[in-house]
A = this chain, B = another copy of it.
């Protein structure tokens, strides 16, 4: 009997198929077992009548524990009342591996309890749905850049120096008394790659040794970072708008089932089309003060500031021209207002805060040297980076988008910890 995945069961109505999965739920009424089976691609109700399968097979299903693995053969029936629209009328059932006292039951469990059992928790309908949305977001991002002529160029995880200060770096003993630092951003390498390949992106894990315990932070998170040679801030903003819109549209299109499981109000995502509203930092500051935030002009936006701002709009908002002093050393200053950076942060709506940060890079050799000194960065570590300004410098720019924050927003989650299979946090390194 050919093995069929539940997600494709609709093309086998009236046919006999075999599914291989796990028992999600069971109830029995005398001579019928109702088994909800999951196989990783979906859930289906199996109806097993004693008269159809015979006494012996029927008895096999009498005491099956949740998450018992099993193989069921039966006829697919369309049934509008069934979740998913189909049912299986069983003709046989084989138990593959038993399960007793599965620790995650339909009752409520605390988050720590579930996180300790993350390897099992991901079997839950809601968690599996989030991971499928994550899969879709990542593939939407990659397809977007590939179709647009970007070349994937991986930047190193082991780096010899910090990109943006050292306080939140993870040092790793390398060989012979050398220390490597885990990357916080592929940014600097991306710039070199863009000079070689035109338009590039990197997409990998990045690390922050942050002791903060907020709903937006992980110590290990995935980031996509595009970088374009011969591009200015305007190009960067256009790219960010197009990317975010494409990703949201793709998830709405292909993961409607999952968003429904998550009870996501997708009407909130329908507005995510370019152009996004743009706010100069000064306008943003004005709104924050009007809204009663204790905001100090000249400073960076805090998490709550971002939340307040993003709540003003029905789609992501681009905040530009932050004070150069609060941004990284490699940002290009606005020639018309040199204390401002040609930068953009994209804040997701519904209070999700920054999902993208980027801008135009400093392409002037002398000014870059000055900035490296002002930031007390070790100049020798940036010799190679300065070469990009020595040999055929060009205007260029790009951004980084954090995948977990984007997934949290699109799924409508409280905390980023559910957006990745095995979240790593201050007190979480297991499983």
A204 at the interface (CB under 8 A from B): yes
A430 at the interface (CB under 8 A from B): yes
Cβ-defined contact, A230 with B3, below 8 A: yes
A170 at the interface (CB under 8 A from B): yes
Q: How far is the CA of A209 from the CA of B172 in the complex (A)?
A: 11
Q: How far is the CA of A219 from the CA of B171 in the complex (A)?
A: 16
A193 closest partner in B (C-beta): B421
Interface 0/1 of A379-416, CB less than 8 Å to B: 00000110111111111000000000000000000000
Q: How far is the CA of A3 from the CA of B395 in the complex (A)?
A: 14
Assess A388 versus B119: contact at CB under 8 Å? Given A189-B421, A424-B158, A431-B160. Answer: yes
| Chain B residues in 8 Å Cβ range of A285 | none
Q: How far is the CA of A189 from the CA of B119 in the complex (A)?
A: 8
Cβ-defined contact, B120 with A135, below 8 A: no
Cβ-defined contact, A391 with B102, below 8 A: yes
Most chain B CB within 10 A, of A154, A155, A158, A160, is at A154
A178 closest partner in B (C-beta): B429
Cβ-defined contact, A189 with B158, below 8 A: no
Q: How far is the CA of A422 from the CA of B120 in the complex (A)?
A: 37
Q: Which of B68, B174, B178, B385 contacts A392 (CB 8 A)?
A: B68
Q: Which of B117, B120, B172, B229 contacts A170 (CB 8 A)?
A: B172
Cβ-defined contact, A197 with B128, below 8 A: yes
| Complex interface: stretch among A138-146, A309-317, A369-377 | A138-146
Question: How far apart are A383's CB and chain B's nearest CB, in angstroms?
Answer: 8
Question: How far apart are A151's CB and chain B's nearest CB, in angstroms?
Answer: 5
| Chain B residues in 8 Å Cβ range of A142 | 139, 142
| Chain B residues in 8 Å Cβ range of A99 | 390-392
| Chain B residues in 8 Å Cβ range of A182 | 172
Cβ-defined contact, A222 with B154, below 8 A: yes
Most chain B CB within 10 A, of A160, A198, A393, is at A198
Cβ-defined contact, B154 with A421, below 8 A: yes
Q: How many residues of A contact B (CB 8 A)?
A: 92
A123 closest partner in B (C-beta): B196
Question: How far apart are A354's CB and chain B's nearest CB, in angstroms?
Answer: 21
A67 at the interface (CB under 8 A from B): yes
A173 at the interface (CB under 8 A from B): yes
Q: Which of B174, B207, B389 contacts A429 (CB 8 A)?
A: B174
Assess A96 versus B393: contact at CB under 8 Å? Given A178-B429, A189-B119. Answer: yes
A152 closest partner in B (C-beta): B135
Question: How far apart are A430's CB and chain B's nearest CB, in angstroms?
Answer: 5
Residues of A27-60 contacting chain B, CB below 8 A: 39-41
Cβ-defined contact, A40 with B429, below 8 A: no
Q: How far is the CA of A131 from the CA of B154 in the complex (A)?
A: 9
| Chain B residues in 8 Å Cβ range of A139 | 142, 146, 152
| Chain B residues in 8 Å Cβ range of A287 | none
Cβ-defined contact, B97 with A420, below 8 A: no
| Chain B residues in 8 Å Cβ range of A175 | 209, 211, 426-427
A361 at the interface (CB under 8 A from B): no
Assess A192 versus B424: contact at CB under 8 Å? Given A392-B22, A431-B384. Answer: no
A295 at the interface (CB under 8 A from B): no
Q: How far is the CA of A135 from the CA of B198 in the complex (A)?
A: 14
Cβ-defined contact, A158 with B40, below 8 A: no
A217 at the interface (CB under 8 A from B): no
Q: How far is the CA of A207 from the CA of B142 in the complex (A)?
A: 24
Cβ-defined contact, B421 with A69, below 8 A: no
| Chain B residues in 8 Å Cβ range of A232 | none
Question: How far apart are A120's CB and chain B's nearest CB, in angstroms?
Answer: 6
Q: How far is the CA of A123 from the CA of B193 in the complex (A)?
A: 8
Given contacts A7-B149, A41-B197, 6 further A-B contacts (CB under 8 A): A98-B392, A120-B391, A132-B197, A135-B152, A156-B220, A157-B220
Give 5 nearest A-B pairs by CB, closest first.
A40-B198, A97-B393, A384-B431, A69-B392, A119-B192
